[in-house]
Every structure is written in structure tokens, then in C-alpha cells.
Amino acid sequence: MKILGIDPGTGRVGWGIVSHEKGVDTFVECGCFETKTNSELPQRLLKIHDFLQNLIKVHQPEALAVESLFFEKNAKTAIDVAAARGVILLAGEQAHIPVFQYTPLQVKSSLTGYGKAEKSQVEFMVGKILHLKEKIKPDDAADAVAIALTHAFRVR
């Protein structure tokens, strides 16, 4: 099963693909899609949607795992990220892919066993689980791979 993990945002959308076959998780690919900061929100959302539709078409994942929103200090940022999440969820539904949502606490717990783990601990575990020689960069892509792994652990 190919799992597409998404770390949502309006400026940067982290994505990561993990293959989960017979209890073995394998890193496939990851990256970070960026929109122009001077673009209006509707334009950014359209670009995110188009990018995801293409990504799904190319990789044909069987599951989409998306990070749920957590409390954001800046209300405008939270609303914009919620809009981006909506576009991401829509792309999954349009492609008829089952969509799963995980909180940051669930991601940290599934990878480290501790829901308040530091980002560096999560990144370390992603590398260890997937037998990676180098740290995944940027952070948004690493987070997306962690989200995909969280779903892989849930389906075992």
C-alpha cells in the first residue's frame, strides 16, 4: 500500500510517500510544494489543489494521511491553513482515496511513544524506521513522511 502523507500549509505543503507492504515500511519519495507569498489565498489554494491532483495521478497512493490542525496563535494563519487542508481533503476525495487525519500528538506518539516528543526526536525515528542515510529536508517534507508512517502503523 502506498501512503501519501501531507503536512498542510498555504505557503509550504510538505508531502511524503511511504510504501507499506507485509509489515515493512519503505521510503518512496518526498518534497515540499511552495506557493508564492505575494499570491492571493484563492490562487495559492488552486495551485495546491492542482499540485496534489498531479501528485496523486503520478504516484497513485491508496491512502492519504493528513495532519489535523492544532491550536494556532495567529487566527489568520489558522484559517488559511484550514482552507489549505480543505483543498487537500477535496483532492483526496476527488481521487477516491481514503483520507485519514492525525493530530501532531498522534504522530509523535506513534513514532516515539511520547506525545510531547521534540521535532528532532520524530525526525530521528523517521530515519531509523526507514533506514535512511540522510535526514529528510526540509522539515515540512520530514513531517509529511512522519504522517504517512503514522498511518502505516495504524493499519498493521
Task: Report the catalytic residues.
Answer: 7, 67, 140
Give phi and psi for 28, each to the nearest 5: -105, -60
* H or E, element range at 148: helix 139-154
* H or E, element range at 49: helix 41-59
**Are the C-beta atoms of residues 126 and 136 closer than 8 Å to each other?**
yes
